[in-house]
Structures are given as C-alpha cells and as structure tokens.
Amino acid sequence: AIRITQSPSSLSASTGDRVTITCRASQGISSYLAWYQQKPGKAPKLLIYAASTLQSGVPSRFSGSGSGTDFTLTISCLQSEDFATYYCQQYYNSPFTFGPGTTVDIK
Amino acid sequence: QVQLQESGPGLVKPSETLSLNCTVSGGSITSYYWSWIRQPPGKGLEWIGNIYYSGSTNYNPSLESRVTILVDTSKSQFSLKLSSVTAADTAVYFCARHERRHGSTSSLDSWGQGNLVTVSS
C-alpha cells in the first residue's frame, strides 16, 4: 500500500496567517491527491482534488500544488472557520490511503 | 445535491458482525463508486473498501478477509458487513461517493454524517 505522511502534525496560527501543510507519498501518484477538512464531530469535507483543483464552493484562499510524491495545501489568509484538521488522501492505487492529519489550532 | 445517510446499530458485541447501510438520496446511485471509511475515536481515517453500482468491489487488504460490501440499486442503498469484530473496530463509520462518474480512482466528494459503532459486551 502507498504510505502517506503529512507535516507538521499540528500547528498553531493566527487569523490572517498564511498556512502551508505538506503531504508526501511513498511512491509517485501523479496528481491523484485530495485534501479534506474535518471539524470535530463532522464528516470530512473535500477541499481540493487532482492535487490542485478547487472543489465547487470552497473559498479561493485554499490552494493545492504538487505532483508525483510531494504536495502542498496552502491557506492564504487563515479565517476563524479554518481551524480544523486537514487530511490528504491518495487515490492513485487501491487501497486509497489517507495521511495522519494536520491539526490547525488557534495560537 | 446528493445526500448520504448511514444507519445501523451503535453497539455490537465482540466476535459478532457489524452491519451498516448507506442510503443515497438527491441523486442516482448508478454510474458511481461508493466507499466506506472509518475513523477510530481521536484517530485518523481508514478506507475500508468501495463498490460500483454494478456490484464490483475493491477492499482494503488489511480488512478484506472480514469485509463484504453490497449494493441494492432498487433501494439506492449500499451496505457494509464486518465480521468477527473486536474493540479495535470501534469507530465512526462513514459512507461516501467518489466524485467522478465510473471512476474508482477519484476523490470523495459527498459524505454521510457518520455512524459511531462501539464494540463491547
């Protein structure tokens, strides 16, 4: 199975900050990568698919980049509603594996 | 806008079989792949497997010996059965849709709210 790592595992930030989360796959996955946001007690919400395509309805402050093995999620100007846990997921090969998550909390 | 809703018991005894249904509304179950994902309390997400509306399945090898996913297009439902459960199977179980028609290798764009299943005697 393809292993996915994320860094950092957690970070503290303030409203208005620029935040970057990194995801790395154990082998090349082209652009078959998605990013999800999850808030406590809720289902994950798709933010970005195909590494850089913004899901409909998701604010443009979210962006994704990368291909192959290294990927990045950037939040350009953190808002209060963005404090959550973020997961990346590869869907290049079954089993479709998730990263361990990055929790963004308030500094 | 498609909606998914999980249903099933919240408590299952060790060694028994966990059974959950996912009902799809507001859209068609045909032409898509449908997945089950679980999340133990306080932990990350684990993909369990998926099914195409035609009935073809893919399972996570880590669970394959205990998992069965079925689809009933007449009811717009798909289901999960996990046998021989232990406390390690305690988790919130989510159902979700793959966003690309006919595409198993696509992201998960619509999710159910989740169903907490506790394994305990």
Q: How far apart are CA B72 and CA A105, in angstroms?
A: 42
Q: What's the pLDDT score for residue B103?
A: 87
- At residue B102, does pLDDT exceed 90? no
Instruction: Give me the tens of pLDDT residue by residue for chain A, a chain 107 residues long.
Output: 999 999 999 999 999 999 999 999 999 999 999 999 999 999 999 999 999 999 999 999 999 999 999 999 999 999 999 999 999 999 999 999 999 999 999 88
List the single range of A79-83, B52-56, B98-102 with lowest mean pLDDT.
B98-102
Closest CB from B44, B61, B106 relative to A101: B44
Contact residues, chain A, for B51 at CB < 8 Å:
none
Across chain B, mean pLDDT equals 97
Whether B41 contacts chain A with CB within 8 A: no
Contact residues, chain A to chain B, C-beta under 8 Å: 1, 32, 34, 36, 42-46, 49-50, 55, 87, 89, 91-101
User: pLDDT at residue B100 above 90?
Assistant: no
Mutate to test the interface with A, among B3, B45, B64, B97 (most CBs of A within 10 A): B45
Q: What is the mean pLDDT of residues B26-40?
A: 96
**B106 φ, ψ (degrees, to nearest 5):** -150, 160
Question: Which H helix or E strand runs over B30?
Answer: none
Determine what percent of chain B is predicted with pLDDT higher than 90.
95
How far from chain centre, in Å, is Cα A77? Answer: 15
Distance CA A72, CA A32 (A): 13
pLDDT at residue B72 above 90?
A: yes
B73 φ, ψ to 5°? -65, -25
With CA atoms as reference, report the closest residue to B24 among B97, B109, B102.
Answer: B97
Question: pLDDT at residue B101 above 90?
Answer: no
The per-residue DSSP string of A59-70 comes to -TTEEEEEETTE
**pLDDT value at residue A106:** 87
pLDDT tens by residue, B76-91: 999 999 999 999 999 9
% residues pLDDT > 70 (chain B): 100
- Mean pLDDT of the region B25-42: 96
8 Å CB contact between B102 and B53: no
